[in-house]
Amino acid sequence: MTLATGRRYLMCRPTYFAVEYTINPWMDPTGAVDTALAVQQWETLRQTYLDLGHTVEEIPPLPGLPDMVFAANGATVVDGRVLAVQFRNPQRADEAPAYRSWFERAGFEVHDPKHVNEGEGDILLAGDLLLAGTGFRTAHAAHAQVQEVFGHPVVTLQLVDPRFYHLDTALCVLDNRTVAYLPEAFSPGSQAVLRRLFPDAVLASAADADVFGLNAVSDGRSVVLPVQATGLAARLRERGYDPIGVDLSELRKAGGGPKCCTLVIRGQETGK
């Protein structure tokens, strides 16, 4: 386990959050969504990060973009370098330039995407490796660009369950050496790769994954995860992590959890 360090996160307040279309199996536009409650739950998540000593930057939400709260999909940021995103679905396309200009204005070197890639939803830094999901959203072809832009080895992981359509819904990086994941969300070959790379991984149960337990944010010590994922929290505690439960039930109606709401900004100075 590595020591927790102050992290820099980018978040987007869910002012215009709604479920207006269906681009993953969790989204039911006929169901009721309480936007005020979503904002409250999001505020609690933000405050949890602040209490842990992390910095939270905010990108202003835009009307007409109900999924913009899911900042993890806004970019991938490693070593101070940014790969901008290109969304699979037209409903989210206009989020890409908004996130792109936020990073440009903040002074980052921004690379344009050549293929569909949904940022940290599918591209996760684990130690020196970049784990890259494909199968539902990010195109396999994007993985080559990810490797070229960041100069970290990219490991392709094939997602097979539509409920776990982004890598960050099926796998959580706990620290530089370990991950937690739901084996059956991956193809047999990718499961073998994960066993080889992370023999000590925490294996999640279907019950934990079903409440988005793997959509968690770890700083190497504290793991912020949905409060409903009690089994996973217990496993993490046994392994020496400090699980912190938050309730994001409203945002789950769009297929999102804590990690989806959180983009990690990794500057040159903080390393990896």
Which among 12, 54, 143, 260 is annotated as catalytic? 260
Interface size with ligand ARG, residues (CB under 6 A): 16
Considering only residues 166-185, where is the footprint of ligand ARG by CB under 6 A?
166, 168-169
Question: In angstroms, how far is CA 123 from the centroid of its own chain?
Answer: 8
Spatial neighbors of 40 by CB under 8 A, at least 6 apart, are none
1 to each of 43, 110, 173, 219, how far by Cα in Å? 29, 31, 11, 10
Q: Which is nearer to ligand ARG, 49 or 70 (CB)?
A: 70
Return d(Cα 257, Cα 262) in angstroms, integer.
Answer: 9
Q: Which of 42, 67, 213, 222 binds ligand ARG (CB under 6 A)?
A: 67
Q: Which is nearer to ligand ARG, 74 or 245 (CB)?
A: 74
Which among 143, 166, 172, 261 is annotated as catalytic? 166
54 catalytic residue (yes or no) = no
Considering only residues 16-45, where is the footprint of ligand ARG by CB under 6 A?
23-24, 27
Q: Which is nearer to ligand ARG, 23 or 232 (CB)?
A: 23
Q: Which of 11, 65, 68, 72 binds ligand ARG (CB under 6 A)?
A: 72
- The residue whose two tokens read 């490693």 is 78
Candidate ranges 64-72, 77-85, 101-109, 234-242; the one touching ligand ARG (CB under 6 A) = 64-72
Q: Which of 256, 258, 264, 266 binds ligand ARG (CB under 6 A)?
A: 256
Q: Which is nearer to ligand ARG, 138 or 178 (CB)?
A: 138
228 to each of 169, 244, 245, 247, 258, how far by Cα in Å? 15, 11, 8, 7, 12
Q: Which of 45, 255, 258, 265 binds ligand ARG (CB under 6 A)?
A: 255
12 catalytic residue (yes or no) = no
CB of 126 to ligand ARG, least distance (A): 16
Q: Which of 73, 138, 156, 218 binds ligand ARG (CB under 6 A)?
A: 73
C-beta neighbour count of 99 within 10 angstroms: 23
Q: Does 260 bind ligand ARG (CB under 6 A)?
A: yes
CA end-to-end distance (rounded Å), the chain: 14
Task: Reduce the DSSP state of residue 129 to 3 states and report it.
Answer: strand
The dihedral built from the CA positions of residue 70, 26, 169 and 180, taken in this order, carries a sign that is: positive
Considering only residues 94-123, where is the footprint of ligand ARG by CB under 6 A?
121
- 64 backbone φψ class: left, alpha, beta (φ>0; ψ -120 to 50): left
- The residue whose two tokens read 């999640």 is 204
Return d(Cα 151, Cα 130) in angstroms, integer.
Answer: 9
Q: Does 78 bind ligand ARG (CB under 6 A)?
A: no
Closest among 158, 199, 203, 155 to 182, alpha carbons compared: 203
CB of 215 to ligand ARG, least distance (A): 6
Catalytic residues: 166, 260
Residues of this chain that interact with ligand ARG (CB under 6 A) are: 23-24, 27, 67, 70, 72-73, 92, 121, 166, 168-169, 254-256, 260
